[in-house]
Amino acid sequence: MERLRAVLESSGVWTVRTSGSTGTPKTVLLSASCLLASAHATHARLGGPGAWLLALPTDHIAGLQVQVRSLVAGTVPSVLTGPFRGPSFVAAASAVPADGPRYTSLVPTQLTRVLSWGGSALAALRSFDAVLVGGAALASPVLDAAREAGVRVVTTYGMTETAGGCVYDGVPLDGVSVELVDGVIRIGGPTVAIGYADSPPFDGWFTTSDLGEFVGGRLRVLGRADDVINTGGEKVAPASVEAVLLAQPGVREVCVVGVPDPEWGQRVAAAVVGDLTETALSAVRTALGAAAVPRRVAVVDALPEKDSGKVDRAAVALMFAE
């Protein structure tokens, strides 16, 4: 925290490695001004500075931004140490001061687990004034269940190159611009990073690898362009298949990937935590067409994760390859 404080006060540069979810990890150069712009815009959207629970690793942007926001607010975050488990989450949440706004930031897997634990863990999550959830797509059934349970979820979209989440509940933060070029999301504004180490700087805009659309003036992220599965000439978006499956009873978590197939080019494969029935597969056929139905299925105890908490899609694909 003190080294980060020094960088922010001296208008220095902080470096963060990307997760490598789109290929080889890259080193992103984040100016103090873009980190601070993100923190101030977040506070403005949430209703003011507050105290934070840090439940994410600080070598990734989401955890780092919890530290930045805490420094800006003049508070010290409560840190969840060790594995993300019910008792440790409750203990860390209880340590967050209650004399002002209380916030935390989670990835979808963590939110799903708290909902499944229920009890004191869910009560602890309900006690926060805002629970930022990002880093990966949050399935509508999970979001609906969280809000019905009284959790004040704010969905976020962003990446290391934009100093973290910069679109909240589909609406860009103040000062942030979002546009679509051939369906691909571009982000501009004060939260955009300087660029990558040993590469030309960004021009104030960052072109993502994500497809999106505007619905009712809000951004809807459709998934990564490079994740699209081409099976027999039909293009299938994994995020769409995951959304349908997660809406089915018994499916708690799912990751859909494309696996090589000598006849079709790729086949749709799904790793599922929970129960996957023929009814669930039929729901995919009805909603998205026959090409989107998973042809290979693996029921697993848990999906592999990166150290950031995101699902490791490459590991899931490798599981099917083996």
Cα 100 to Cα 93, 103, 172, 288: the distances in Å are 14, 10, 25, 46
Cβ of 171: how many Cβ atoms within 10 Å?
13
Sheet containing 251-261: give its strands across: 251-261, 265-274, 296-299
- pLDDT digits (tens), the chain, 322 positions: 999 999 999 999 999 988 665 457 899 999 999 999 999 999 999 999 999 999 999 999 999 999 999 999 999 999 999 999 999 999 999 999 999 999 999 999 899 999 999 999 999 999 999 999 998 888 788 899 999 999 999 999 999 999 999 999 999 999 999 999 999 999 999 999 999 998 999 999 999 999 999 999 999 998 888 888 999 889 898 988 998 999 899 998 999 999 998 888 999 999 999 999 999 999 999 999 999 999 999 999 999 987 767 788 889 999 888 7
Q: Which residues pair with 249 in a beta bridge?
A: none
* Dihedral Cα 27, 29, 32, 37, nearest 10 deg: -90
Integer Cα distance of 223 and 243 in angstroms: 11
Cβ of 104: how many Cβ atoms within 10 Å?
28
Integer Cα distance of 230 and 223 in angstroms: 14
Task: Name the region of 132 (left: φ>0; alpha: ψ -120 to 50; beta: rest).
Answer: beta
* Residue 21 structure tokens: 């979810």
Residue 201 CB partners (closer than 8 Å, separation 6+):
194, 195
Cβ atoms of 295 and 282 within 8 Å: the answer is no
Place of tokens 């995951």: 242
Q: Which amino acid is at 143?
A: L
Cβ atoms of 52 and 80 within 8 Å: the answer is no
Integer Cα distance of 145 and 251 in angstroms: 14
